[in-house]
A and B are shown apart, each in its own frame.
Chain A
Amino acid sequence: MTAGTAPSLTQSIAPVDAGAHVTAVGWLKDTAAFGLGDGGVLLARNGETHRVEAHPDAGVLAAACDGERFLTGGDDGRVAVTGADGSTRTLAETKGAWIDALAVSGGGAFAYGAGRRVTARDDKGREKVLEVPSTARGLAFAPKGYRLAVSHYNGATLWFPNVEARPEVLEWKGSHLDVTWSPDGRFVVTSMQENALHGWRLVPDKGHMRMSGYPSKTRSFSWSHDGKWLATSGAEAAIVWPFESKDGPMGKAPRECGVRPAKVSRVAFHPNAYVLAVGYEDGCILLIRLGDASELLVRHAVKDSGISAMAWDRAGRRLAFGCEDGQAGILTLP
């Protein structure tokens, strides 16, 4: 089935005019927060919007959300935190260095990267700094414990900020972009400059996993709620890798969902069902059920309105999305 014939949910979208490139989306309970390229954070709830100047005269480059706080990193060198009540304040500040990597952990800790320096601040406000060999491109907290994965040129570094031990280095030649940690903590996966993913099995051994064949870079990952599948962008379909076995996806073919003549730019797994939201560079969004590959159309293709951000709310009833041209919207499942 193609987008042209898929049953449609387009009537269930409440459009949001974000007004600038949407860099990231997060949910603060029932409020959707859109981080914008013009430095604003737009809060949307029950059809009403409220704009917060989180980074005046700057732009939001990265964002992370834990359900309570929407953290944004800007090209003004600041990390700001915005709440559902519209309050915003500066959490950290560097001298001019862009903040384009951010991670937040469930326990209230966060980390940000500015060039080679990675700063982690725990829930008690204790700050630790790690210098990595080249620019920290991606950050991800382990699902349990206070441990951070940092991706950079020639590999990734695993770091316990509050432990004196030397960080563990996972080597693999090449430039690693974003990093993600599997929900069970067994795998670390990075996307790479050369159109591939690389993964490391942390237990029982340090095996490598190489996942290639993408026509372009992967800039969006999403784990299924149970950690058995990893959905990725970068091809003319969402590429979904099986991780249920202890070896990860090695020797197994990935699923290809939502094949269309446009590249997938964002993916977002439903928080408690095998349903994947797939956003494309041409502005289209599909919902795909993994079990039978059935598709539902959420948004038609819109010229110059590529999907740049997507997030489900915690219950999985609503999907917020944002686009390059400042259009955005919230889908409420019927």
Chain B
Amino acid sequence: MTDKIPVTVLTGYLGAGKTTLLNRILTEPHGKKYAVIVNEFGEIGIDNELVVGADEEVFEMNNGCICCTVRGDLIRILDGLMKRKGKFDAIIVETTGLADPAPVAQTFFMDQDVADAARLDAVVTVADAKWLSDRLKDAPEAKNQIAFADVIVLNKIDLVTPEELDAVEARIRAINPYARLHRTQNCAVPLAEVLDRKAFDLDRIIELEPDFLEEGHHHHHDEEMQSVSVKVDGEVDPEKFMPWISNLTQVQGPNILRCKGIVAFPNEPRRFVFQGVHMILDGDVQGEWKPGEKRDSKVVFIGRDLDEKAIREGFLACAA
């Protein structure tokens, strides 16, 4: 588990500043060597790093499900990189401005060879403070990238007024209230906030989001993309919860971009922690509830056209 190579996925609409962030990661002194997977060589001229060109070949799996896609080129490249193990400490995948991050993330769950060798660390999305609001109107890809992010670097804040900045941040929060957000100029964010986040690590869901189990922030929803969070005060019945979550992700999978949850089962000293991308769920019991801690259960979904009422009622009905 620990010797799996961490992979950071860098997304962001065309011109947002992905390459600026990438160049910062590669040039700042941190003592690490990265293998970088990019679509176009061009601006990256770092000699001592391993830079690989990708073609973003998206493959449907043969199970007849339209959202179960993987990136064939990534599987091939990661397979090749594993033959050079020891030459680098981490991998960065830069996707094109128009790419959907889901097939990249799913590759780390659906391909066993990839899952054995590498772990998805976090999806980092760079957003352009000046133009993001426009892109959210006309480009579904931009919205997906925001919805999918674990970390959002809201860049070019020097080009907008404080009011405009608050407005664009509110737009982002309406789509994805759970990502870490950093306001930057020239992508000047501490690299520790971007790299080695372990956002896709089940163990770290609680640690990363200490207020994950708290409710109370009230969000304005985007007209199309929503986040739905539901809390059960107490335990849920696994006999009800498991069929419910699996059915929900099977049926609503194409609309669910990300989901996460921490759930308390009766007579189980450990938390059930899960997360997923579209139809693919990864979950396990782990990490004991602390003595005296309130054993509440909470699930979060980010997606498109979600039936909030049905999700809410469905989860509440799982209460033990």
Contacts and interface: CB of A to CB of B under 8 A. Distances in A.
Contacts of B87: 38
B80 A134 contact: no
A153 B112 contact: no
B80 A153 contact: no
A232 B62 CA distance: 21
Question: Which of A97, A175, A217 has the most chain B CB atoms inside 10 A of its CB?
Answer: A175
B80 A194 contact: no
B52 interface: yes
Interface in A41-100: 59-61, 75, 96-98, 100
Given A115-B55, A135-B72, A175-B59, A98 B80 contact: yes
A252 interface: no
B266 interface: no
B289 interface: no
A62 B80 CA distance: 9
Contact of A59 (B57, B59, B84): B84
A100 B41 contact: no
B80 A173 contact: no
A266 to B, nearest CB: 14
B83 A175 contact: no
A37 interface: yes
Contact of A21 (B59, B75, B84): B84
A217 B117 CA distance: 15
Nearest to A39: B84
A100 B78 CA distance: 12
A190 interface: no
Nearest to B83: A37
A98 B55 contact: no
A23 interface: yes
B62 A173 contact: yes
Contacts of B113: 216-217
Contacts of A192: 62
A15 interface: no
Interface string A145-184: 0000000010000000000000000000111000000000
B83 A59 contact: yes
A210 to B, nearest CB: 11
Interface string A125-138: 00000000011010
A173 B80 CA distance: 24
A12 interface: no
A309 to B, nearest CB: 11
Given A21-B83, A37-B85, A59-B83, A96 B41 contact: yes
A152 B82 CA distance: 22
Interface of A: 21, 23, 37-38, 59-61, 75, 96-98, 100, 115, 134-135, 137, 153, 173-175, 192-194, 216-217, 324
Given A21-B84, A97-B53, A135-B57, 19 more contacts: A38-B87, A61-B83, A75-B52, A75-B84, A96-B41, A98-B77, A100-B80, A115-B55, A134-B57, A153-B72, A174-B59, A174-B61, A175-B59, A175-B72, A192-B62, A193-B59, A193-B61, A193-B111, A216-B113
15 contacts: A21-B85, A37-B83, A38-B84, A61-B83, A96-B53, A115-B55, A135-B57, A137-B76, A153-B59, A174-B61, A193-B59, A193-B62, A193-B70, A217-B112, A217-B113
